[in-house]
Amino acid sequence: MAKPLTSVIGIDIGRYALKSVLMQKKGANRYVVTNFATHIVDDTAEQTSSELGRNIKALLKHMGGSAKACAVAVSHPDAILRLIEQPETPTHILRDALKLNSTMLLNQDCKSYVLDCELIPSTVPIDPTNTRQKQYLVAGIPRTHVVEIGTAFYEGGAPPVASLQLAPVAVFNAFEFANEEIFNNNAFFLLDIGHNGATILLGAKRELVLIRNVEFGGRALIDTLCNLSGEDQPTVLRALEQEDEVMVENARMALMGLAREIGSSIGFFEGRREEPIRQVWVSGGFAKSKTVLRVLSEELRMPCMAWNATERCEINVPSSKRNQFSEEALDMSVACGAATEALQA
Amino acid sequence: MALHINLYHEIQRARKEEQYDPLKISLLCIGFVGLCLAGLYFGKLSQTMGVRDQYTAQKAEISTLEPQAAAAKLKEAELTASIQLADKLSKRIEDRFYWAPVMEQIGLTIPANVQITKLTGDISVTDASRRIGIALDGIAAGEQPRKVAEDIRLALIDNLGEKYKNVTATFRSLDDSTEQVRFEGKEMPTALFSINITFSATAVPLAPRTVQR
């Protein structure tokens, strides 16, 4: 049995930026964030392993500090994230079954994918007539991408990779870590707004009920706002920050599609479970924008709140970076989720 | 409990398998055993070489010492012969027979009326001991000259018996003589006698003396 990690670097490999947090476990329930960094990447250029290695090297250099391992969370357009129902099976056997018989289990040929699965703890039986049926979360990304990431970390001189996670699962884990009481006792709706797309996660009392990817991210919102206003990106962002009426209306129009998707997801959830969704927990780059949160709240007619994944952690970052961290903490949920999962393993 | 998904498991397992590859481990073990055996071989080889070198050195030393040893052997034989000769000589000297005390005893034993005309002595060596033989011829004068001769014989046995072992004295001849001799103003008849005295050359050990204070 491997020795449990006491310090780990959580890294979020996004399309627009690489984010990292250095988290240490000081006791049974005491976590400290000592370093963090964000490194913007050129999203127009193709991400080769050497390019990614260079970016990781720059990110770790900017962050400072060191740890025994890295926990990586990645989002990929071809990533698979499914909930499947199976008779109770040990996960290592199911993993092999998925690898050998993915066409049957996932209705998709996944020979070129690396797959992993995990039993989802369920409070409500899926099929009341068959209590042996369990729900499993299956995640996968193309093997070439896994190899690229491994090579990039090796070339970037980073500590060894302890785990490779999908960004939505990392967000789910981060929410469990940050808001344990809500996670354990209530239904919750998580919205992670990324650069290219948003992820919707619906859960209730520890159980992951629904995962959806929506093709609407920060880039689409900015592009729409720029097109509607005819202004450039900095002007649009400044106007949005100043709650310019025209820009707010433009944002409302831009976010309409996303709000509709959220509404339909909530409807789906509430139709299946007798638990209401009372608020939406927003993370990602645009969780920092109060205007976006207000517009979404108005559109959904329920509060949309940003949540901070490092809420339970002691913040021990250098004093010069403390203000920057409080601004960027809302965007660190994926990196924090990856790190906490590795520390809790 | 967080959802533990690890998409890096294939690479981790491949690395672990590579790390704990049975072929690699067995090759390492074989290599280690081979190294041990090679070490043992070279150790034994150096040991053998050392013994061989020692043997060669000793052989060379022997080849240089051998003529010296032969010469020493010859010298030893020579010296042994010399020592034996010296021993013989010293033994001979040490075992020589002293005639003077015998002559002294005989001189003391012979009275004035007896005249020794001939005295010969020789030593006969047998395996066990040496015997001294003395032939004594003389003329005894007295009223009874034969008795005088007999007294001399007995006196010789007594006197010599004090010093020597196995003393015998026998007459070879004892004849009356026609000649008359004057002794102390008187004419006395004489008798011719020949006595053979034999005794062992070994002297009788002297009785321990008592010291008087």
Tens of pLDDT, residues A291-328: 999 999 999 999 999 999 888 888 988 888 888 888 88
State the amino acid at position B101 in one-letter form.
Answer: P
Please give the pLDDT value at position B205: 62
pLDDT for A226 = 92
> Has residue A231 got a pLDDT over 80?
yes
**What is the pLDDT at residue B189?**
93
pLDDT of residue A47: 74
Tell whether A5 is within 8 A of chain B (Cβ).
no
Task: Give the nearest partner residue to A114 out of B2, B3, B7, using CB atoms.
Answer: B7
Residues within 8 A of A (CB atoms), B 1-20 only: 1-11
Give the tens place of pLDDT for each residue, A105-151: 888 888 899 999 999 887 665 565 666 788 899 999 999 999 999 99
The partner residues of A30 in beta bridges, in order of sequence, read: A27
Burial A53-65 (b: 16+ CB within 10 A, else e): bebbbebbeebeb
Q: What residues of B are in contact with residue A147 (Cβ under 8 Å)?
A: 11
Q: How far is A146 from chain B (nearest CA, A)?
A: 7
Q: How many residues does chain B have?
A: 213
The arithmetic mean of pLDDT across residues A56-82, rounded, is 89
Element (H, E) at A85: strand A80-87
pLDDT at A250 over 60: yes
Dist. CA A164–CA A74, nearest whole Å: 7
Asked whether the beta carbons of residue A173 and residue B11 sit closer than 8 angstroms, the reply is no
| Chain B CB contacts of A116 below 8 Å | 5-7, 9
pLDDT band (50, 70, 90) for residue A11: very high
Instruction: DSSP letter for A312, please.
Output: T
Mean pLDDT value across chain A: 88
What are the phi and psi torsion angles at B133 (to 5°)?
A: -115, 130
Looking at residue A37, its pLDDT comes to 92
Segment A172-188 mean pLDDT: 91
* Residue A287 dihedral angles phi and psi, to the nearest 5°: -70, -20
Asked whether the predicted pLDDT for residue A345 surpasses 80, the reply is no
Q: Is the pLDDT of residue A38 over 70?
A: yes
Which tens digit of pLDDT belongs to each residue from B159-207?
Answer: 999 888 889 999 999 999 998 998 888 899 999 999 999 998 876 665 5
Lowest-pLDDT choice from A2-6, A226-230, B55-59: A2-6
Given a cut of 90, whether residue B53 has pLDDT beyond it is yes
For chain A, percent of residues with pLDDT exceeding 90: 40
Tokens of A148: 């690229």
**What percentage of residues in chain B have a pLDDT greater than 70?**
93
Quick check: B96 contacting A, CB < 8 Å?
A: no
**Where does the pLDDT of residue B211 fall: very low under 50, low under 70, confident under 90, or very high at 90 and above?**
low
Query: Which has the closest alpha carbon to B145: B198, B102, B186?
Result: B186
CA angle (A112, A115, A121) in 5-degree steps: 160
pTM, full prediction: 0.67
Q: Tell me the mean pLDDT in the region B138-150.
A: 93
For position A2, what pLDDT does the model report? Answer: 65
State the burial class of residue A230 (Cβ atoms within 10 Å of its Cβ: 0-12, 13-18, 19+): exposed
Q: What is the ipTM of this complex?
A: 0.86
**Nearest beta carbon to residue A163 from set B1, B6, B10:** B6
Is the Cβ pair A164, B4 closer than 8 Å? no
Q: Bridge partners of A304?
A: A280
* Max avg pLDDT among A338-342, B2-6, B72-76: B72-76
